Chain A
Amino acid sequence: MPGSATAGSRTMSSARDTRPSLATVSVVHEVAISRLVLAISLVSGSILRLWQINAMGFNTDEAVYAGQAAAIAGVPGLKDIFPIFRAHPLLIQFLLALIYKIQFSDVAGRILAVAFGLGTIYLTYLAGKTLYGRLPGAMAALFLALMPYEVVVSRQFLLDGPMVFFGTLTLYMLARFGKTQRVAWFFAAAAALGLTFLAKETGIILLASVFVFLALSPVLRLRFWDLVLALVLLAVVVSPMPLTLLLAKHGSTGQNYLTYQLFRRPNHPALFYWQSVPQALGIMVLVVGVVGLIFLWSERSWRETLLLSWILVTVLFFQIWPVKGYQYLLPIAPAVALLAGRLMGKLVDRKRDSQTDRKTINTLAVPSLLSWAVVGVLAFSLGQASWQRIQPETSSLFLAGTGGIPGGREAGLWINKNIPLGAHLMAIGPSMANIIEFYGERTAYGLSVNPNPLHRNPAYDPILNPDGQLRNSSIQYIVWDSFSSLRTPFFTNKLLEYVKKYNGRVVHTESIPVKDSQGNTVSQPVIIIFEVHP
């Protein structure tokens, strides 16, 4: 258990008090370096997030969220296809709808996501500055800016990136509360947590982190009625979700989704996060964070309690929760970056520290220049990993959740231009169906969607009697795609049987250049559209 702030740690306010006595590094120097590192973070973060951002069209989740935004904004062609109320709250879709009111474009959603990503970098800096000082804050911002996990997700119009933005805002507000012990910051944190929930409901897990943090930090005093007031504020901020569902008579939507999430089968193995997330966070960053916790153990305070609560509660919950998702652990990324920034900030700026700190740091025997070299290596490794992750796909073996589906947008736009309005299409699964709906502005169904409401995502409509619907021309087109066919051979075969049975005629093919086994670039069909004639 970390000791109290008075017992073991040195606060930033006290650091500020001692600043004039520092001999080797001036405050001006520290500010300049911090600003430089922050600027590098924001510039490199922008480059990684914006590089060829629109080279590939939306993936399925992006298409759904952007479709909801279009429905809210009343975009013709989409407002009748996408239902507004699906699984999640609508804060981010609402913000995109504001943009769509002015200009409709798929890239707008991704630019909004990037804006949230850059905002998260800056909030991480502010949180770090509040907790440990400018330089650790700037270091944390740099790590987050280059971290593949954050880069990949914040390039996509997903809810997780903005949710992490508001989660980091909550973290920052709590840091301000911890530092000033002014309850107004706690109220602000409650409101920010409310927005975190409104961005994506899984953000509410951070409420548990807050409670754990408060319970393990007796140094922070909070009156009962202040806590109640904060919870009321949280409830008020969160209220748009249930309120809109109830007033729009969609009350069952949220209940259905909750039921589905509670009882659906696990979609990944138990060790999924351990296999995928450490690499995405950067293993070296994780190691630095843990090393920092160990070697700066004597300095432990409510600050580390806050960051560890943020990380461990989230990891524990999603590890226990049977449904796994690549992005679910993203809220821990800023906290991990802050822990790493904490140590590296101290290492590169160790001469500023007091005798006590110097003693601790000297045990590491790391000269400042070498520390900067370590920071450079960390940044380079993270940046290189991110750079590789954002390059266009050159294989037909696509990984869900890491970007768009090659050819998806182009196929959708072809459908939009060449297929009659009101046409209905059948894809292998809902992933491609969503993309077709967004870009093609035509209703599309996934054959693999289970007709049993207990075993399907309530956001998806199943095809009841697909054979009958093809026979009576209620469905006029069939879409095959390589992405879905790799995931579900059974439904792919079924789909191709329908193509054969109903005289399917190829009307369009989308291909991408891929490398074959000899390393030659060949054109490989990734999406084929069939017109069926019963």
Chain B
Amino acid sequence: MIRRKIFAFILTTLLAASQISVAKASPAGDVPQAKTPIQHLIVLMQENHTFDNYFGTYPGADGLPSGTKMPVDPANPSAGYVVPWHIGTTTITDLSHTATTFSAEYDNGKMDGFVSAINSFNENGTIAMGYYDSSDIPYYWNLADNYVLFDHFFSSAKDGSDANHYYWVAGTYPQVKKGQSLSTLLDNVPTIFDRLQAAGVSWKFYVENYDPKINYRSPSTQNNRESQVVWVPLLNFNRFLDEKDLSSHIVNLSQYYVDLQQGTLPAVSYIVPSGASEHPPEYPASGEREVKSLLQELMRSSSWNSSAFMLLYDDWGGWYDHVIPPQVDQYGYGARVPGLLVSPYAKKGYIDSTTLDFTSVLKFIETNWSVASLSTRDAKASNFLEAFDFTQTPRQATLLSMTYGVASAPNKAPSILIFSTYGLALLLTILAIGFAALRTRTARVPVKE
């Protein structure tokens, strides 16, 4: 079994290598046109939440089942249970979210180790059962109401940020063997950007607070900036560091706003945060504001009518999720993560339950811009085309509120009350005048003054 997988990996790598050589050749005016009205795909990868953690109580979605309770110790039911609880403004911590943690939480598919696994790291396992609702993440809930919410979107790997970000760009998680360096291995791992570059399809990797000096060769150990190398996997690839025509595509997030204003938004945009990543113990609010800003600028730009914006979360962050992730290979899937799609072609208030993962993003790109797949994962991944309705005229952009429900109805009009009471007043006056006229007519008696 393992041999077969190693063989598959080698085969995939070889295939990819052949594609890389193509990538280096500059395209000669043969740029593939998008097969759908989506001319711009923007994917933002935020950090560390599960679907149940963000949308567990969202109406109509596959959220927290009633009666959910998590044993404190799966082996000892008498130790008690933890039920899902609303986090609100309660202080949270960064829960352990390594492959080991996932394995303990997953517990061979029993999904009963979420409290005990965290407790075993001497952390507060109760936190893992916490959830947010519309009062905490109103903007995201408004997005779900107006666009598409994916409720079966899984992280690609049963692991943390590193693995999942690789799946996001390359459809695989390169496994370094003894005596091998990651960078050497990556020289032969194709990414979606190699494909796009080779095909002449424009792309950019926008990085919030991007510092070009921080990469795998000179990782920062200060101010938590080492995450840049994790969240931007391209900074581990020699060619994306050394070759100007590739490295120039990795830019600061401020360029995103410039591109929108100038109408130069590329076909494919990947965005990673820096400060407002929503990575616990950070509250979601700052991330929400960041997402709102990104979306508002897109909606106000000329690119809106041909765009799709995806908001994803790289891993589960240790939080509880009740859906058993399908196992497509030894590495994944990991737990469900929140996923939202915002587009003028997105179905309104639609909950898409297609089983998806980060390689579904690659699948869409490959389908839309006619580029070859990267690995078996993305080749087999489901697409999210079901979330679109390309027969509809592009929906007008809607800048949503940071207060849940405000956009829909601040004015519960008591119209019936007004129509009835004012109508009756008018009728009463007409009757009074009519009565007076009738009395005068019937009297016919001249009145002395």
Chain B 390-401 near chain A by CB (<8 Å), digits 1 or 0:
000000111111
Docked complex: A468-487 residues within 8 A CB-CB of B: 472-474, 476
Cβ-neighbour of B297 out of A236, A244, A472, A533 (below 8 A): A533
B418 near A94 with CB under 8 A, answer yes
Chain A 61-95 near chain B by CB (<8 Å), digits 1 or 0:
00000000001111000011111100000110010
Shortest CB-to-CB span from B160 to chain A, Å, is: 31
In the assembly, what is the distance between CA of A505 and CA of B413, in Å?
37
A244 near B433 with CB under 8 A, answer no
Taking the complex as formed, is B60 at the interface, i.e. its CB lies under 8 A from any CB of chain A? no
Given contacts A240-B424, A244-B418, A421-B396, contact A302 B449 (CB under 8 A): yes
**Which residues of B have CB within 8 Å of A194?**
425, 429
Q: Can you name 30 A-B residue pairings with CB atoms under 8 Å?
A: A5-B449, A9-B449, A11-B449, A74-B413, A80-B408, A80-B409, A80-B410, A81-B411, A84-B418, A91-B422, A94-B418, A98-B419, A181-B447, A187-B432, A188-B432, A188-B436, A191-B429, A192-B429, A194-B425, A240-B418, A240-B422, A244-B418, A247-B417, A420-B304, A420-B396, A420-B399, A422-B407, A473-B292, A533-B261, A534-B293
**Which residues of B have CB within 8 Å of A180?**
440, 443, 447
B432 near A6 with CB under 8 A, answer no
B422 near A94 with CB under 8 A, answer yes
A531 near B300 with CB under 8 A, answer yes
B435 near A420 with CB under 8 A, answer no
B299 near A244 with CB under 8 A, answer no
Docked complex: B262-319 residues within 8 A CB-CB of A: 289, 292-293, 296-297, 299-300, 304
Q: Which residues of A contact B (CB under 8 A)?
A: 4-6, 9, 11, 13, 71-74, 79-84, 90-91, 94, 97-98, 173, 176, 178-182, 184-185, 187-188, 190-192, 194-195, 198, 219, 233, 236-240, 243-244, 247-248, 301-302, 419-424, 472-474, 476, 505, 531, 533-534
Who on chain B is nearest to A192 by CB? B429
**Which residues of A have CB within 8 Å of B293?**
473, 534
In the assembly, what is the distance between CA of A447 and CA of B199, in Å?
51
Taking the complex as formed, is B428 at the interface, i.e. its CB lies under 8 A from any CB of chain A? yes
A72 near B415 with CB under 8 A, answer yes
Given contacts A84-B418, A194-B429, contact A184 B440 (CB under 8 A): yes
In the assembly, what is the distance between CA of A72 and CA of B417, in Å?
10
B436 near A184 with CB under 8 A, answer yes
In the assembly, what is the distance between CA of A71 and CA of B410, in Å?
11
**Which residues of A have CB within 8 Å of B433?**
173, 188, 191-192
A195 near B424 with CB under 8 A, answer no
In the assembly, what is the distance between CA of A98 and CA of B426, in Å?
13
**Which residues of A have CB within 8 Å of B400?**
422
In the assembly, what is the distance between CA of A373 and CA of B238, in Å?
100
A248 near B432 with CB under 8 A, answer no
Taking the complex as formed, is B95 at the interface, i.e. its CB lies under 8 A from any CB of chain A? no
A82 near B425 with CB under 8 A, answer no
Q: Max chain B CB contacts within 10 Å: which of A302, A474, A531?
A: A474
**Which residues of B have CB within 8 Å of A195?**
425-426, 429
- Complex A-B, nearest 6 residue pairs according to Cβ-Cβ distance, in ascending order: A5-B449, A420-B397, A240-B421, A184-B436, A422-B399, A191-B429
Taking the complex as formed, is B414 at the interface, i.e. its CB lies under 8 A from any CB of chain A? yes
A176 near B436 with CB under 8 A, answer yes
Cβ-neighbour of B402 out of A190, A198, A301, A474 (below 8 A): A474
Given contacts A97-B419, A173-B433, A301-B449, 9 further A-B pairs with CB under 8 A are A5-B449, A74-B413, A84-B415, A187-B432, A188-B433, A244-B414, A420-B397, A422-B407, A476-B399
Taking the complex as formed, is B178 at the interface, i.e. its CB lies under 8 A from any CB of chain A? no
Shortest CB-to-CB span from A270 to chain B, Å, is: 36
Shortest CB-to-CB span from B143 to chain A, Å, is: 12
**Which residues of B have CB within 8 Å of A79?**
411, 413
B414 near A247 with CB under 8 A, answer yes
**Which residues of A have CB within 8 Å of B296?**
420, 473, 476
In the assembly, what is the distance between CA of A488 and CA of B428, in Å?
46
Taking the complex as formed, is B439 at the interface, i.e. its CB lies under 8 A from any CB of chain A? yes
**Which residues of B have CB within 8 Å of A191?**
428-429, 432-433
Q: How many A-B residue pairs have CB under 8 A?
A: 158
**Which residues of A have CB within 8 Å of B421?**
239-240, 243-244
Shortest CB-to-CB span from B67 to chain A, Å, is: 37
Shortest CB-to-CB span from A233 to chain B, Å, is: 7
In the assembly, what is the distance between CA of A174 and CA of B401, in Å?
54
Cβ-neighbour of A182 out of B261, B429, B436 (below 8 A): B436
**Which residues of A have CB within 8 Å of B397?**
420-421
In the assembly, what is the distance between CA of A237 and CA of B418, in Å?
13
Shortest CB-to-CB span from B206 to chain A, Å, is: 16
Chain B 224-246 near chain A by CB (<8 Å), digits 1 or 0:
00000000000000000000000
A91 near B426 with CB under 8 A, answer yes
Shortest CB-to-CB span from A495 to chain B, Å, is: 20
In the assembly, what is the distance between CA of A424 and CA of B402, in Å?
12
Given contacts A195-B426, A422-B398, contact A184 B439 (CB under 8 A): yes
**Which residues of B have CB within 8 Å of A423?**
300, 399
A472 near B289 with CB under 8 A, answer yes
Cβ-neighbour of B448 out of A6, A80, A98, A476 (below 8 A): A6
Taking the complex as formed, is B364 at the interface, i.e. its CB lies under 8 A from any CB of chain A? no
In the assembly, what is the distance between CA of A239 and CA of B417, in Å?
12
In the assembly, what is the distance between CA of A410 and CA of B439, in Å?
53
Shortest CB-to-CB span from B287 to chain A, Å, is: 13
Who on chain B is nearest to A16 by CB? B446
A182 near B297 with CB under 8 A, answer no
Taking the complex as formed, is B81 at the interface, i.e. its CB lies under 8 A from any CB of chain A? no
In the assembly, what is the distance between CA of A163 and CA of B293, in Å?
48
Who on chain A is nearest to B260 by CB? A533
Taking the complex as formed, is B423 at the interface, i.e. its CB lies under 8 A from any CB of chain A? yes
Shortest CB-to-CB span from A401 to chain B, Å, is: 26
In the assembly, what is the distance between CA of A357 and CA of B257, in Å?
85
**Which residues of B have CB within 8 Å of A179?**
447, 449
Q: Max chain B CB contacts within 10 Å: which of A72, A74, A81?
A: A72
In the assembly, what is the distance between CA of A74 and CA of B416, in Å?
11
Who on chain B is nearest to A423 by CB? B399
Given contacts A79-B411, A94-B423, A476-B300, contact A237 B428 (CB under 8 A): yes
A248 near B414 with CB under 8 A, answer yes
Shortest CB-to-CB span from B137 to chain A, Å, is: 16
In the assembly, what is the distance between CA of A4 and CA of B415, in Å?
49
Who on chain A is nearest to B434 by CB? A188
In the assembly, what is the distance between CA of A72 and CA of B299, in Å?
31
Who on chain A is nearest to B414 by CB? A248
**Which residues of A have CB within 8 Å of B398?**
420-422
**Which residues of A have CB within 8 Å of B449?**
4-6, 9, 11, 178-179, 181, 219, 301-302
Q: Max chain B CB contacts within 10 Å: which of A5, A74, A238, A240?
A: A240
B447 near A182 with CB under 8 A, answer yes
**Which residues of B have CB within 8 Å of A240?**
418, 421-422, 424-425
Who on chain B is nearest to A240 by CB? B421
In the assembly, what is the distance between CA of A190 and CA of B300, in Å?
55
Cβ-neighbour of A80 out of B257, B261, B411, B425 (below 8 A): B411
**Which residues of A have CB within 8 Å of B304?**
420
Q: Max chain A CB contacts within 10 Å: which of B292, B300, B304, B400?
A: B300
Q: Max chain A CB contacts within 10 Å: which of B293, B429, B443?
A: B429
B435 near A184 with CB under 8 A, answer yes
In the assembly, what is the distance between CA of A195 and CA of B261, in Å?
54
A188 near B409 with CB under 8 A, answer no
**Which residues of A have CB within 8 Å of B300?**
419-420, 423, 476, 531
